A and B are shown apart, each in its own frame.
Chain A
Amino acid sequence: MLRLPRFSYLRPASLAEAVAMLADHGAQSSVIAGGTDLLPKMKRRQVQPAVLVGIAHLEALSHLETTASGAAEIGASRTLTSVLKDAGLAHHQPGYAQAAGLVSTPALRNTGTVGGNLCVDTRCNYYDMTEDWRTASGSCLKTGGELCRLASSSPRCWAISSSDTAPIAVALGATAVVAGPEGERDVPVASLYRDDGNAHLALGRGEILTRLRLPAPDGWRSSYVKLRRRSSMDFPLAGAAVALKIDRGVVEGCRLVLGAVASQPVELSDLVHGLVGQRLDEEAIEEVASGASRLAKPLDNADLSYVWRKRMVKEIVARAFRQAAMSEVAAVV
């Protein structure tokens, strides 16, 4: 059977100690919460950290609170299942809860965490392969090689952002709280990512994502639509997150974020800008959805054909808009 490489497991007593441990061990170390992303990659020898710093047990990362206004603060080590079961979140943050519920399978949601899904490694079907397969194929930019196997002339890695919760968090204007050697800082989730498959997180060495803050809905509605082959288990082939504020059919504010079409979530602010002040009718939805499909550039490194995935961006964006428009205006306005 596939087994893990050897490593030292460290169990810090506090968040500060965890940060210090990561700083001490540098590039040799990795933080681990649920492990559902990291451990398979270690078994396939895609990454082989010598030191794992466990953070799942830390109190500082495990709280979950929804205020009366609907603003939520979720500890990064909360499991996706615990998010789904939270009535406050389901009520106030339906788009986020929807996305969390679409991640993988029930058993993996029981272990996989809120922070883990936001940070989930980029994926590529030249990279997410076993050691033997990659030996046969040759190493790629993401495994220390000289060449991108997808686009051999490319100077950069095109692995795909594959988080379901990241696009909706960006659309909701969420904030990530990050702890590091210099203390805590707030980072808009939109700024958490970089368009580089080989270094997709804008986090410094030793930094840990500790909490996710979702702002109060304040009349905004949200929705996430995931494209995948099967009804469970699969990573997104594309995702569309929509946050929408509508008053009597007229758009007052709108954010659209695509997932799984680039190395980071792609916010299409210019595209939806024109919607503000307009009625959100089928024609408007169709126009925005077509625009999103035009702008999306999926590549041939995930399941099914990239041509189809690009085409389907239009469909899922349209579905997300319709869903968001139909969803009840979040309570406590």
Chain B
Amino acid sequence: MSAPREWAGRRLGAVPGGADDGDGTFRVVGKAMPRVDAVAKVTGTTVYADDLSFPGTLHCVLLRSPRPHARIRSIDVQEAAGLPGVVAVLTGAAMPTRFGVSPSSEEEQALAADKVRYVGEPVAAVAARDEATAREACKMIHVDYELLEPVTSIDRALEVPMDEPIHASSRDSNIHRLAAVEFGDVEEGFAASDHVREDVFFYEGSNHLAMEEHSATAIFSDGQLTVWSSTQSPHSVHRALSSVVGLPMGHVRVVATPHGGGFGGKVDPCAHEIVVAKLAMITGRPVKCTLTREEVFYNHRGRHPVLMWVRTGVTRDGRIRAMHFRTALDGGAHGSLGAATTYYTGALQPATYDLPAYRFEGCRVFTNKAPCGPKRGHGTPQPRFALELHLDKLAEDLGMDPVELRRRNYVRPNSRTVNGLRITSCAIEKVTDEVLAASGYSRRERREGHGQGFAVSAYLCGAGTPMYLNRMPHSEVALKVDRGGVTVFCGATDIGQGSDSVLATLVAEELGLERSDVRLVTGDTGLTPVDLGSYSSRVTFMAGNAAIEAARKMRTTLAAAAAEHSGGRPAEMTVAGGRIGPLSFEEAVAAAEELYGTLGSVGSYAPPPGISTSKYRGSAVGPSPAFSFSAAVVDLDADRVSGEVRVNKVWIAHDIGRALNPVLVRGQVEGGVYMGLGEALMEAQAYRNGLLHHPSVLEYKTPLSSDMPEIEYLIVEQPDPEGPYGAKEVGQGPLLPVVPAVVSAIHDALGVWVDEVPVTPDKILRALDARARGNDPRTGPRAFPKIPYPPCEKVAIPDAATAAV
């Protein structure tokens, strides 16, 4: 396999205390290498979930609700059950146990039994000899609905429910979650400010549009249930399955198949995964269900539409004194991870800017729409969009350069934020410098309709708290080494981001092997130790550190055996180049097997306790063992007459700690920029009369290859003290600054603000028209609704002493 010949990006920054590729300290880490599964993927031999087939498989189709909000009076399945070829018909009555990805929101039923809450909610399922028969049978199921008034907007959800609330658990309202917390004294901060500004923004919801439609197959045999699924979190599916089908965890195995894209859309346990399991148990035959594209839009769990209000006080010289941030999230019909999403809309504002006082009030409402959940950036792209544009406007008010305003408020390395987040490594200054230098932002060309925009962001390297409260490790790795080779076992799931390649890289580096010497078994709850899943950019940091721990233990064992065998001391046994001391790796393994018997080692990772000091309602959301920082400049032309935007180029600098494999890093950075451009300019999971506006790949607009600008990426490597070889995340961060930078560039080009995304041409023209009429040159939400936030929980600013981390 040849190494990449084309390397468009740049890697920047010295690597103190270590070495970059070139001086030989690392043999595998930092090298540009293909993915471990690349050849299988380009030859079509990778077996994805829908490619699996077992003898005698039944095919399952879900009947979905055509009503957004209705009580189910009765379901008659008799006719469907009688159709030749139909083997089983299932309704919610058979699976009353409720579940949800988050224990705080376990309100879903795999098949709705009492009421439906959105168009597309599954109400019954058929298993038949083939998909066509199952689909035909679904049409023969008669559901008697008693219609209820649907709630389809944040405003309506805040009113007293017309008929009944969407969920009985939210009592007499449709408010799912409220958050209110204040760090320091915000009013005092405003009083001490020279200038205070308020803005309102809206960020539309969007779907992940992973190219692979979800699919799952279940087999039940000898009391053991096995489910293969295109999931990002086999552990979550494992827990939900066990609970709903009523089998002990030890009798359920979930295998995450190679994955055709996730982006957060496959984190939740899904109805079809549970339904195929139940049907396999009923029929005794393998049962498969693959969603159609339309069903994927209904399953959703995508980006929350968020309305935002922000008020900030600054001094004349641009120092922020206080910030008050309010969010209102349209959650759709279920909780999903939405409680966490709500807190995320307030958590990371202080991760880029040193806010002396900060108040956050958040609210998530239930609506009769497909459930929202986590999408790349989980709850942080929306407030990042609002915050960055708000700062641009503040800078304009002050007559100050927007970059300079930010710089005056940047967080510092090794500090503690106002909301108690521990910041360790932090290259926010460096990513700013790099992206400004590369783009020439400060001396950009001024011509009609041309503009550039700048923004920065921060993102977590894994959620510091697990999705359900426990004190066990977040990631566990086992290593099997014997005369048959080296195998890494880890529950982590490669969803295309390359986590398998990262694990192999780290273990190979530790054991002095080539990456191709390391075999992987991942994402299989029956075979691999627990990993919580591929979400919150956690896998490199957490599974990576667990793998390093396991490998170091093994290295110690092998070195001891090699020393024993060769008569030297363990410390003299250099582990490198396929050798351990004087022995080949294989000889050392044989020696160790002779001495110790079966060789195995384990490693695990849980975030250190010091990552957060503040305790308040919601404080579990935000803390992370490390933060990545990104900065972007977007260059575009915007047409004054048509409102059309052409993005010419995006520069993005990302503080990754260390690039473990530049090929993978590039993919994540460019993919994040692409998705950010999509959300800035096109993507919308929008509704009309309670129905999805665009449930197709054609009408849900995303940029095509011919729409994409050039991307120049700059990788800043300043190793993180706790990251694996200093590495930090890259899967989500680079999306964040792109969206506000696009809108900022449009303002730079045309002098108008579009305070909501996606920025479609008509919105730009509306803002230009407003200016022509002498009105506020802006398109965007006018007001923020009145929300019954509870009194703010007052949290003391963390002790200066805790800032020394």
Contact = CB atoms under 8 A, between A and B. Distances in A.
B463 to A, nearest CB: 35
A39 to B, nearest CB: 14
B642 interface: yes
A119 to B, nearest CB: 20
B34 interface: no
Contacts of A132: 64, 66, 120, 294
Nearest to A4: B132
22 contacts: A1-B290, A129-B695, A130-B294, A130-B696, A133-B692, A133-B695, A135-B66, A136-B119, A229-B682, A229-B701, A230-B682, A230-B704, A231-B707, A232-B704, A233-B698, A234-B701, A303-B699, A303-B701, A308-B762, A312-B642, A315-B641, A315-B642
B324 interface: no
A140 to B, nearest CB: 13
A137 B691 contact: yes
B721 to A, nearest CB: 45
Given A125-B699, A230-B704, A231-B706, A136 B765 contact: no
A307 interface: yes
B53 interface: no
Interface string B754-785: 00000011100100000000000000000000
Contacts of A232: 704, 706-707
Given A136-B66, A232-B707, 8 more contacts: A128-B699, A132-B294, A230-B704, A231-B706, A232-B704, A232-B706, A308-B760, A308-B761
Q: Which 4 A-B pairs have the closest CB atoms?
A: A308-B762, A136-B66, A231-B706, A305-B762
B292 interface: yes
Interface in A117-148: 125, 128-130, 132-133, 135-137
B703 interface: yes
B643 interface: yes
B761 A2 contact: no
Given A230-B704, A308-B643, A315-B642, A3 B132 contact: yes
B131 interface: yes
A279 interface: no
A304 interface: yes
B27 interface: no
A132 B297 CA distance: 12
Contacts of A3: 131-132
A307 B765 CA distance: 11
Interface in A239-298: none
B316 interface: no
A132 B761 CA distance: 31
B67 interface: yes
Nearest to B215: A1
A156 interface: no
A125 B693 contact: yes
How large, as a class, is the contact surface on chain A? 20 to 34
A322 interface: no
Nearest to B708: A231
Interface string B699-714: 1010110110000000
A133 B691 CA distance: 8
Interface of B: 50, 64, 66-67, 119-120, 131-132, 213, 290, 292-294, 641-643, 682, 689, 691-693, 695-696, 698-699, 701, 703-704, 706-707, 760-762, 765
Given A1-B292, A229-B701, A307 B762 contact: yes
A136 B699 contact: no
A233 B704 contact: yes
Nearest to A318: B641
A11 interface: no
A311 interface: yes
A234 B760 CA distance: 15
Contacts of B703: 230
B762 A231 contact: no
A308 B131 contact: no
Contacts of B695: 129-130, 133
Contacts of A234: 698, 701
A2 to B, nearest CB: 6
A311 B66 contact: no
A57 B805 CA distance: 75
Interface in A295-333: 303-305, 307-308, 311-312, 315
Contacts of A229: 682, 701
A308 B643 CA distance: 9
B642 to A, nearest CB: 5
Given A130-B294, A230-B704, A311 B765 contact: yes
B760 A304 contact: yes
For A136, A230, A307, A311, which residue has the most chain B Cβ atoms within 10 angstroms? A136
Most B CB contacts (10 A, CB to CB) among A3, A133, A137, A303 go to A133
B59 to A, nearest CB: 10
A329 to B, nearest CB: 29
B406 to A, nearest CB: 33
Contacts of A129: 695-696
B260 to A, nearest CB: 13
B132 A136 contact: no
Interface in A10-44: none
A127 B511 CA distance: 61
Contacts of B693: 125
Nearest to B692: A133
A137 B698 CA distance: 19
Nearest to A3: B132
Contacts of A307: 762
A130 B699 contact: no
The winner among B67, B120, B691 for most chain A CB atoms within 10 A is: B691
Nearest to B641: A315
B701 to A, nearest CB: 5
Contacts of A133: 294, 691-692, 695
Contacts of A125: 693, 699
B641 A230 contact: no
Contacts of A130: 292, 294, 695-696
A167 B290 CA distance: 41
Contacts of B50: 1
Nearest to A307: B762
B683 to A, nearest CB: 11
A312 B119 CA distance: 34
Contacts of B701: 229-230, 234, 303
B67 A136 contact: yes
A176 to B, nearest CB: 28
Contacts of A315: 641-642
Contacts of B761: 304, 308, 312
A233 B699 CA distance: 10
B138 to A, nearest CB: 10
Interface in A173-204: none
Contacts of A233: 698, 704
Nearest to B769: A311
A309 B306 CA distance: 27
A2 B292 contact: yes
A230 B696 CA distance: 15
A231 to B, nearest CB: 4
